[in-house]
Amino acid sequence: MKTIERTAGKKEIYLQIAQQFGTPVYVYDANVMIDQYKRLQNAFTKVPTRFHYACKALSNHNIMKLFQKLGAGLDAVSIQEVELGLLAGFSPKEILFTPNGVGLEEIVHAVDQGVSINIDNLSILEQFGARYGSSVPVCVRLNPHIMAGGNYKISTGHIDSKFGISIHQLRHLERIISYYDIRVEGLHMHTGSEIVDVDVFLQGAEILLDAACDFEHVHYVDFGSGFKVAYKPGEKGTPIEELGERLSDLVMKYCQKMGKRLEMVFEPGKFLVSEAGVFLSEVNVIKQTTATVFAHVNSGLNHFIRPMFYDSYHHILNLSNPEGKERIYTVVGNICETDTFAWDRPLPEVSEGNLLAFLNAGAYLQTMSSNYNSRFRPAEVMILDDKIYLIRKRENLNDLLATQIPVEFELSISSKEIQTV
């Protein structure tokens, strides 16, 4: 697993970051992101292809600017992400707005910003058509009814999913489009995340391309993403090169059938940033019970929710004692809640004060963090060509209070009366 070797090889720079900025801290290696983006580009050369960075994975303004400079577009799922993308330098047409279950007001705001719109339900599409007709082109998200993804919580294309317009509602969809003269320029799907099997992608692609044959103005098909990266040693990720070859051949076949050119679009998020991230946390306490040896770190699910939310595995390195004799630890956090990072994990012997590095920490850590227990969110640091950049400062008490409004009020009951109740 390259991530382990790469992190171990940069041990000194991680130790320096921990000393300089304190822990816990999120660290991102921008060169890894660049390599992942280039890998995608090299895998899809037969058919014109665009990649829109799914910034919900990691929405720091500097990371968004990095992908803008690389030539990527942006996939935004909220109007706030749209606005951040515009501030990061993306042009409106480079941003695809793909929300779920939002009201028409948010869609209208996005139209006013000039970004491309992707609609995933018939109700909003009908309201959109009544307001704009053919004056604003739109992309439509379909649900192919395919169960795919590494976890039910991240499977988005099955029959019980809230995402997309059912492929079985195509006739209804066509009626709405015809009645309101809606100009559909793209079709979209996303079956789930962490998909390894290329055949699953192709199954969904066949459905999407079949549907595209019935839409006169469609000039791009958006296959979402769901590309898997390896989390465990020996684990396999999505074979991107094979996918690029086979999916491109399939799209070219449909282009010949339809007699027109189609562009492919993908929305990778985790694939681009997950392996670039390392989360550094310090061990506060070693606690031995009758059954377990706990390594308590100075963080918790408020900074790193994925293991508790998705049962995800994240490899852990002991940067302070990498060659130590292995012992079994359960690594837990400091939140007043069960917040376990790893059960019964073999690690080089851990002592209080040791620095632990959690790998694959670039995606869905900071963006899903919170102030639970009124803890501060950590700083974010970016490494680019071995130069260190602080890209988000650690929060302080003023940040917690920034949006709270002190109110003067009086109780109608005295403290003495409360005690006697």
* Helix pair angle (122-132, 104-113), 10° resolution: 50
**C-alpha separations of 146 from 44, 154, 206 in Å:** 24, 13, 12
Reply yes or no on whether 336 is catalytic.
yes
Q: CA 135: distance to chain centroid? A: 32
Q: Which of 371, 372, 391 is nearest to 383 (CA)?
A: 391
- Say which amino acid occupies 355: L
Which residues have a Cβ under 8 Å from the Cβ of 366 and sit 6 or more positions away? 26, 58, 60, 303, 377, 378, 380, 392
Catalytic, out of 139, 213, 255, 336: 336
CA torsion through residues 397, 401, 407, 413, sign:
negative
**The tokens 């009814």 sit on which residue?**
145
Which residues have a Cβ under 8 Å from the Cβ of 211 and sit 6 or more positions away? 142, 167, 170, 187
Return d(Cα 119, Cα 108) in angstroms, integer: 12
Return d(Cα 47, Cα 63) in angstroms, integer: 27
How many other C-beta atoms are found inside a 10 Å radius of the C-beta of residue 70? 15
CA angle (173, 175, 180) in 5-degree steps: 100
Return d(Cα 376, Cα 363) in angstroms, integer: 19
Q: Which two tokens stand for residue 234?
A: 């020996």
| Residues assigned a catalytic role | 336
